[in-house]
Structure 1
Amino acid sequence: MIVHELIGTETLFAEQLKEGYYVIREKYNKLDVQPQDIDTFQQIDCGTEEIVTVVFDPGDDYSLICLDTYTFKTKTPSLSELRQTLEIKHKDLFQ
């Protein structure tokens, strides 16, 4: 069973794509957990991955709307690269 262990979260809303649209970056360590016997588990490190979540904040309390989530096993794209990806998928947001 693969377990994702959160090892770091960038400051929420550290980067803004457009007014009201923010990027949340999280880094996870992936572990493969396998039972060995009744009381013992073996953990195998499977590396790290970064999750980038794009949210919209309409300004109301507790009302964030998740637009999309992206997983990266290598280098996280820059904010401009992420914006280009979103412009293709969500054209109406950036007009």
Structure 2
Amino acid sequence: MKIHNLIESKQYFVDETKANYYVVYEKFENIEALIKENRVEERNQGTEEIIDIFYGYGKADLLQRVCSYRLDLNNPSINDTLNTIKEQHKDIFK
């Protein structure tokens, strides 16, 4: 079984985006859990960092993912990814 634990979360551009748009950073710890001889063995699978752009549909609190950026070799840092979002998603900003 794979376990995807949220260990950090932060919202960016809070006062800069149009209403109902959210830019959210999340860091996850990934663990693989195996059951062996009546005990659980956990194996650390590393961390994963993602920045998502969401659009909210009002009072129902339903969010739709507009775009997702995984921090990896192509997007190495949070700041670089945030700059990419500013450049490629100008329509979500005031």
Q: What band does the TM-score fall into relative to the shorter chain?
A: 0.5 to 0.7
Q: TM-score, normalised by structure 1?
A: 0.65
1:71 aligned partner, one-letter code: R
Unaligned runs of 5+ in 2: none
- When the two chains are superposed, the root-mean-square deviation of aligned CA atoms in Å is 2.7
Residue of structure 2 equivalent to 1:55: 54
- Partners of 2:69 and 2:81 within 8 A in 1: no
- Partners of 2:7 and 2:27 within 8 A in 1: yes
Structure 1 runs of 4+ with >6 Å offset: none
Residue-by-residue CA offset, 1:53-82 (whole Å, 9 max, x unaligned): 101246x22243321233334644431123
Q: Structure 1 residues 75, 32: closer, same or farther in 2, change over 3 A?
A: farther
Q: TM-score, normalised by structure 2?
A: 0.66
> How far apart in 1 are the matches of 2:12 and 2:45?
28
Determine what percentage of the aligned residue pairs are the same residue: 22
Unaligned runs of 5+ in 1: none
> How far apart in 2 are the matches of 1:69 and 1:25?
10
Q: Aligned runs of 1:1-95 on 2, under 5 Å?
A: 1-10=1-10, 13-15=11-13, 18-20=17-19, 21-37=21-37, 39-57=38-56, 60-61=58-59, 62-73=61-72, 75-76=77-78, 77-84=80-87, 87=88, 93=91
